[in-house]
Structure 1
Amino acid sequence: MEESLRAIFVGDLEIDEVNEMLYRWCQRASRSRQSSFIRLSKTIRTHRDGILASIRLGVSNGRVEGLNTKVRSIIARSYGFHSAKATLALMMLACGPIDLKLPYERASLST
């Protein structure tokens, strides 16, 4: 059951094929006697439109989760800072659009 569900999300199928495979998988899962598959089947049926839209558009939340992990790591490292401003500055430095150049790197770029 797990492997057949993984095969649906590989990304090499048309949206109609994914829709049909999800429908069949949910039917099999709801007839299984494992409560986790039954619960997952209900969740997939509830969020079917969003799942299909995500597959059709090819979007995921991987980047957001990566950024969230990075921010949590910075917060853990900043324990003991005297103010929240220092933590926010460290987050902006690590995650923000700031592109810092060291003085010797600036000199070599201008020549």
Structure 2
Amino acid sequence: PAFVALQKTIVKHRPQILASIEHNMSNGRVESVNTKIRLITRRGFGFHTPEAVVALAMLSLGGARPQLPGRDPRISQ
């Protein structure tokens, strides 16, 4: 009976299981991103539109690291 329940659970959640394997996303990474977005939302209190908060999240979590003026790119900090 326990293995039957396990099999039903796996069949029920199969697309999600395969997606997590395909995209290499664990629950820990997803929770980390959710927490960061929650903190950005708190920091964004007072913005007039949701688009502004989304833009701040994309800027913070998007991975873009533009060259800042006056900084030497050869020196890593």
Q: Would you call these one fold, judging by a TM-score over 0.5?
A: yes
Q: For 1:28-85, what per-residue CA distance to the aligned partner results, in whole angstroms no more than 9, with x for missing partners? A: xxxxxxxxxxxxxx5xx243466xx78xx68622211111111111112212112223
| Distance change (3 Å), C-alpha of 1:81 and 1:102 | same
TM-score, normalization: structure 1?
0.43
Does the CA contact (< 8 Å) of 1:92 and 1:98 recur in 2? no
Show structure 1 runs of 4+ deviating over 3 A: none
The number of equivalent residue pairs is 65
Q: Contact 1:78/1:87 (CA < 8 Å) preserved in 2?
A: yes
The 1:72–1:59 alpha-carbon spacing in structure 2 relative to 1, beyond 3 Å, is closer
Q: Which runs of 5+ in 1 are unaligned?
A: 1-25, 28-41
* Contact residue 47 and residue 53 of structure 2 kept, 8 A: yes
Unaligned runs of 5+ in 2: none
Two-structure CA RMSD over aligned residues (Å): 3.1
1:69 aligns with 2:35: yes
Match of 1:47 among 2, 5, 9: 9
Aligned: 1:86 with 2:52? yes
Percent identity of equivalent pairs: 37
Question: 1:96–1:59: structure 2 CA closer, same or farther, 3 Å change rule?
Answer: closer
Which residue identity is paired with 1:109? P
